[in-house]
Amino acid sequence: MAPLLIRCSAIGRLMTDPRSKTEGPLSAGAKTFIRELVSQDVFGVFFEAADKRLEKGRIVEGESIALVNRVRGWNMRKNAERRANSWITGEVDCWDEASRIGCDIKSAWSLATFPLSADDVAPAQRALYEWQMLGYCWLWGADEWSVQYAMVDTPPHLIGYEPINLHIVEHIPAHRRVTAWTVKRDEAREDAIAERVEHARAYYAQVRDEFEAAHQMRQMEPA
């Protein structure tokens, strides 16, 4: 079996700190995450949340990239390359090799959820984003990575009963519809990720072995 690799988007779930020494090197939340990974592998499925906010992000990603390009003066294209090292794996949204600029695109659901600055993003969510960007810096050898929050029109079939003026935003100047912040590469935190992944692998193997032992196929005795 190939060694467990953690997706950059999930590093933050692994890096939450244990609340007490009795939890060991992995927090309760990290253990829950690892048990989810075991379930996915055992049953050959991927636990992907599905809601209209995520659906909007998938539908309008190209529009959001175009908006960020227009505001920043870039010529970014959607990346299709996945990279991995010995501990993590990731597929970034945009990377320009010549300028060595990388960014992750977040499409806001509505004006009500569009952040004016990084301070408007919930601390727990911002921490997840930060670990994700640190992973991208590591895999692509970049000095920094930016989060680019874009606000573009929501597809009409997703709006539902919400006020339409929170979702149709093309009339608002482009520069007012992109909020960004940057995460700097941190090699000490890369070492911390690698160490935590090693603990995760040990716990993953333990949970997998316990499952297999409890779910052995038993041969029926002849009647």
Q: At what angle do helices 28-43 and 187-214 cross, to 10 degrees?
A: 60
The answer to whether residue 137 is domain-embedded is yes
b/e burial code for range 118-155 (CB count within 10 A of at least 16 → b)? beebeeeebebbbbbbbbbbbbbebebbbbbbbbbebe
Residue 33 lies in a domain: yes
pLDDT band at 218 (very low <50, low <70, confident <90, very high): confident
For residue 22, being part of any structural domain is answered with yes
153, 179: one domain: yes
**Per the domain annotation, does 88 fall within a domain?**
no
Res 221 pLDDT > 70 = no
Q: What is the pLDDT of residues 30-78, one digit of tens each?
A: 999 999 999 999 998 988 777 899 999 999 999 999 999 999 999 999 9
Residues 63 and 11 occupy one common structural domain: no
Residue 178 belongs to domain spanning: 50-80+93-185
pLDDT tier at 23 (50, 70, 90 boundaries)? Answer: confident
* Helix, strand or coil, per DSSP, at residue 111: coil
Question: Does residue 56 sit in the same domain as residue 22?
Answer: no
Predicted pLDDT at 96: 93
18 and 37 together in one domain: yes
Residues 38 and 127 reside in one and the same domain: no
**Same domain, residue pair 63 and 153:** yes
How many other CB atoms are there within 10 angstroms of residue 77's CB atom?
Answer: 13
Q: Is residue 85 part of a domain?
A: no
- Give every CB contact of residue 107 below 8 A, 6+ residues apart in sequence: 56, 57, 60, 61, 64, 149, 150, 151, 152
Are residues 3 and 110 both part of a single domain?
no
Tell me, what's the pLDDT at 222? 65
Residues 59, 76, single domain; the answer is yes
Structural domain count of the chain: 2
Report if residue 55 sits inside a domain.
yes
pLDDT in tens, 138-187: 999 999 999 999 999 999 999 999 999 999 999 999 999 999 999 999 99
Burial class (CB in 10 A: 0-12, 13-18, 19+), 2: exposed
- What pLDDT band is residue 219 in, cutting at 50, 70 and 90? low
In this structure, are 4 and 64 located in the same domain? no
User: What is the per-residue pLDDT for 217?
Assistant: 75
Whole-angstrom Cα distance, residue 75 to residue 68? 9
What values do phi and psi take at 215, rounded to 5? -125, 40
Length of the chain: 223
> Contact 102/140 with Cβ under 8 angstroms?
yes
Are 1 and 59 members of one domain?
Answer: no
SS3 label, residue 86: coil
Nearest in space to 189 (alpha carbons), one of 132, 140, 148, 124: 132
CATH number for position 64: 3.90.320.10
Asked if 73 and 175 sit in the same domain, the reply is yes
Residue 223 lies in a domain: no
Task: Please check whether residues 19 and 56 belong to one and the same domain.
Answer: no
User: CA 133, 134, 137, 143 torsion: positive or negative?
Assistant: positive
Domain membership of residue 152 (yes or no) is yes
pTM of structure: 0.93
